[in-house]
Amino acid sequence: MNALVVNCSPVRDGATAEIVNLISLELSQKYQTKQVCIDDYDIAFCRGCRSCHDTAKCFMTDGAQQLMAEFEKADSVVCVAPSYWADVPGQFKAFIDRCTPYSNTHEPHASLSKGKKGYAAVLRTGPGMKECERIIQTIEHFYGHLDIQCCGHLGLCSIENRQAVFSRADELEDFCRKI
């Protein structure tokens, strides 16, 4: 079984990256695990041309297709996203938009192989869980349109920096046991 852990932040050495590292380490005990950073991929903005609604393919070729190839290889996908003004980072949102050819809301559409499971881990610096819930909804909405089964999520508040992640290791381990 293959697990993909996606750092949805462009920051490669912050709190989100530390959570990705901890989840990847934990999952590697039972899965072939790969971690990627959204910033590893050059992803252009969707042009809104809707040609993919007719062709099930985007006319642009870039990192969006490369990252979707990683999704295809995975049995389980864990998207780890920080809050950027109460939503996912723009780089990740650009990727979501570019996945429209895979959206099950129109025919024809491209599709991933069946049976994939999706998980979300989100973090924010503030104390309220409501913002985490909003980001979880964004990720689970994305999974739903790709026919990835939403199987679990974790919201972490008051994460100011990567050092703050270490005191939450038990929560992360509990989350990983469900994957």
> What local confidence, expressed as pLDDT, does residue 155 receive?
98
Question: Which residues in the chain come in under a pLDDT of 50?
Answer: none
Domain CATH for 91: 3.40.50.360
Residues 125 and 84 sit within 8 Å (Cβ to Cβ): no
The per-residue pLDDT for range 124-135, each reduced to its tens digit, is 999 999 999 999
What are the phi and psi torsion angles at 32 (to 5°)?
A: -75, 120
Q: Report the domain count for the chain.
A: 1
The per-residue pLDDT for range 6-29, each reduced to its tens digit, is 999 999 999 999 999 999 999 999
In whole angstroms, give the CA distance from residue 165 to residue 169.
Answer: 7
In whole angstroms, give the CA distance from residue 61 to residue 107.
Answer: 21
Range of the structural domain that residue 67 is part of:
2-177
The per-residue pLDDT for range 108-127, each reduced to its tens digit, is 999 999 999 999 999 999 99
Instruction: Report yes or no on whether pTM surpasses 0.95.
Output: yes
Residues 6+ apart with CB under 8 A from 63: 40, 41, 42, 43
